[in-house]
């Protein structure tokens, strides 16, 4: 399967702490995107990083991409209880789209 | 609110039946994607349509079919339903054909329960 794998599967932190989740994938990609999903709801796009970029910031989010290791990380700084959700990486390879298995983040108030 | 609408929100049906899920993309978006999300399989890409034409195919079963109409709304048809087809079905849309910077916007999903 070319599906990405997120690590860890589940993460529980205190409010105010930083949360880091990782994504590994198997094939060359056009871009990598991170999405967030609240329980039972649709996915919300967070950030996109192109294959020729190494780091990108958006508010409290920082994404890195290492194409040599086929991996990406999402850092959420100063976490809030409202950040509790599942986070997925998604890769575009040609016309195919692959979502990872997701990291379930719980931020404890 | 992403601007993508899906109907119905919930669907309960029996094995062997046929159902149709409907999706309206964001205004101006030309691509529509269908995904299936189940507990054991995760989020699986099924199929993409761009401006009425099939653009990419993922793990879509032969019992499933989709189409995109001239007004760009899309329907996903699921037939000969099995218990294992119970899942959340998401539609997403994007402005373009899925290029390097094309972001997908997801609808709220249709929860299908097959009894």
Per-residue confidence of chain B (115 residues) as pLDDT tens digits?
889 999 999 999 999 999 999 999 999 999 999 999 988 778 899 999 999 999 989 889 999 999 999 999 999 999 999 999 999 999 999 987 766 567 889 999 999 999 9
Interface contact flag, B106 A99, Cβ < 8 Å: no
Give the span between the Cα atoms of B59 and B65, in whole angstroms.
12
Rounded to the nearest angstrom, the minimum Cα separation between A50 and chain B is 7
DSSP-derived secondary structure letter, B45:
E
Give the pLDDT confidence score for residue B39 in this predicted structure. 80
Give the span between the Cα atoms of B25 and B50, in whole angstroms.
11
Residue found by looking up tokens 């499933």 in the block: B64
Give the span between the Cα atoms of B8 and B87, in whole angstroms.
14
CB of A28 less than 8 A from some CB of B: no
Q: What does the pLDDT average to over A55-66?
A: 97
DSSP-derived secondary structure letter, B82:
-
Please state, for a pLDDT cut of 90, what percent of chain A lies above it. Answer: 70
Q: Name the token pair of A29.
A: 């990609």
Helix (H, G, I), strand (E, B) or coil at A82: helix
Interface contact flag, B58 A96, Cβ < 8 Å: yes
A96 CB burial (10 A radius; 0-12, 13-18, 19+): middle
Give the pLDDT confidence score for residue A15 in this predicted structure. 97
Q: Name the token pair of B101.
A: 């910077």
Q: Work out whether strand A31-37 and strand A43-50 pair parallel, antiparallel, or are unpaired.
A: antiparallel
Give the pLDDT confidence score for residue B102 in this predicted structure. 76
In contact, A87 and A74? CB cutoff 8 Å:
yes
Question: Which of A30, A42, A98 is nearest residue B45 as measured by Cβ atoms?
Answer: A98
**Residues contacting B12, CB < 8 A, separation 6+:** B113, B115
């Amino acid at each position: 399967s070319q599906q990405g794998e997120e690590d860890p599967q589940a993460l529980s932190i205190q409010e105010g702490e930083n949360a880091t989740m990782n994504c590994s994938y198997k094939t060359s990609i056009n871009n990598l995107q991170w999405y967030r999903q609240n329980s039972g709801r649709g996915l919300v796009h967070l950030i996109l990083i192109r294959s020729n970029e190494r780091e990108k910031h958006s508010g409290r989010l920082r994404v890195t991409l290492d194409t040599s290791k086929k991996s990406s990380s999402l850092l959420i700084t100063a976490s809030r209880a409202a950040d509790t959700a599942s986070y997925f990486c998604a890769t575009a390879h040609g016309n195919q789209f692959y979502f990872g298995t997701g990291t379930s983040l719980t931020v404890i108030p | 609110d992403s601007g993508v609408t899906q109907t119905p929100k919930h669907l309960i049906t029996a094995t062997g039946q046929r159902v149709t899920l409907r999706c309206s993309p964001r205004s101006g978006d030309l691509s529509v994607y269908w995904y299936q999300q189940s507990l054991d399989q995760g989020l699986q890409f099924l199929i993409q349509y761009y401006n009425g034409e099939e653009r990419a195919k993922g793990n879509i079963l032969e019992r499933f079919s989709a189409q995109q109409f001239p007004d760009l709304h899309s329907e996903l048809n699921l037939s000969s339903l099995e218990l294992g087809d119970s899942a959340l079905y998401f539609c997403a849309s994007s402005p373009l054909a899925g290029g390097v910077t094309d972001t997908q916007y997801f609808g709220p999903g249709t929860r299908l329960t097959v009894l």
